Amino acid sequence: MKRRALLAGLGAMFVGACSKVADSSVGSSLLSAAEDWHRKAHRALSSRTAMVREYTKADISPDFRGNGSLTVDTEAYRAHMAEGFVDWRLEVGGLVANPLSLSLEQLRAFPQRTQITRHDCVEGWSAIGEWTGPQLSAILEAAGISSEANFIVFRCADTLGGHKYYESVDMVDALHPQTIIAHRLNGENLPIKNGAPLRMRIEKQLGYKHPKYLTAIEAVASLDDIGLGKGGYWEDQYGYQWYAGI
């Protein structure tokens, strides 16, 4: 736990400085090199399938706070919410042999994983919650993911600052056993503030890498043509590091 807390703190410090340093071309190059070092060092310190700590029900935080978008301010989302998200679909496409369009019922039909883990936010707070959902690896296997896919892009319904929210990870984190598409928190359907009806849990990354209000998953070979090419909303708009491993 101490190692994870240290890595989370270092990651938060690094991200906090990113937007200022990245304003210059030299700073941008230095940050890119530092991020690459961070990713390689982090991966070298633990195996690709090393599990993060899982907690007991007694450790669950009394309130798992919302952060970033707390809802989706569109008529379409409000209509889905009023109907209990029965018609919500998760599209799975890109470099796959069998594109999928999955309802919540179909997602619940996959083998489910429940895990009690700690969420570490770049802002310095943390919370422990119990998450339930299918492993992302099972969804990608069902879709027949191509060997040419190097990254998984997560598309979301919410918008921040006029920009659609999205995130991405490489295949190491995508296929990790604790990377799940969560639809339940603490034994209940996912609350609106926490990303209902679907959000990612990518337990080996800081909180901003866990996108909410999930609408689509896309397997791609490169991130260059996605958004501004940096791999996520915070990375594109504020210079956050793409790899936020802890």
208 vs 1, residue with greater confidence = 208
pLDDT at 23: 54
The pLDDT assigned to 65 comes to 96
Is pLDDT larger for residue 204 or for residue 1?
A: 204
Q: Is 114 a residue whose pLDDT tops 60? A: yes
Q: Which two tokens stand for residue 242?
A: 């793409």
pLDDT in tens, 23-66: 555 445 545 556 565 566 666 666 768 999 999 999 999 999 99
| Distance in angstroms (rounded) separating the CA atoms of residues 134 and 108 | 7
State the CATH architecture for 52-238: Alpha-Beta Complex (3.90)
Which residue matches tokens 């309130």? 63
How confident is the model over 77-105, as pLDDT tens digits?
A: 999 999 999 999 999 999 999 999 999 99
3-state secondary structure of 244: coil
Is the link from the previous residue into 197 a cis peptide, with omega within 30 of 0? yes
What confidence category does residue 17 fall into, taking pLDDT thresholds of 50, 70 and 90?
A: very low
Determine contact, residues 130/190, Cβ cutoff 8 Å.
no
Question: Please, which pLDDT band fits residue 73 given cuts at 50, 70 and 90?
Answer: very high
Could you give the percent of the chain with pLDDT greater than 70? 81
What is the C-alpha to C-alpha distance for residues 26 and 24, in angstroms, rounded to an integer? 5
Query: Which tens digit of pLDDT belongs to each residue from 131-156?
Result: 999 999 999 999 999 999 999 999 99
Cβ-in-10-Å burial (0-12, 13-18, 19+) of 54 comes to middle
Nearest to 180 by CA among 217, 148, 138: 138
Domain boundaries in the chain? 52-238
- The pLDDT value recorded for residue 3 is 45
DSSP one-letter string for 1-44: -HHHHHHHHHHHHHHHHHHHHTTSHHHHHHHHHHHHHHHHHHHH
Q: Which of 4-13, 114-123, 141-150 has the lowest mean pLDDT?
A: 4-13
Distance, CA of 98 to CA of 201 (rounded, Å): 24
What gap in Å lies between CA 147 and CA 150, rounded to an integer? Answer: 8
- Joined together, the tokens standing for residue 125 give 């707070």
pLDDT 10s digits, 169-203: 999 999 999 999 999 999 999 999 999 999 999 99
117 vs 23: CA distance, rounded Å: 35
Tell me if 1 sits within 8 A of 53, measured CB to CB: yes
Helices 25-45 and 2-21 pack at an angle, to 10 degrees, of 170
| Predicted pLDDT of residue 43 | 65
Helix, strand, coil percentages for the chain (3-state, nearest 5): 35, 30, 40
Instruction: Provide the whole-model pTM.
Output: 0.86
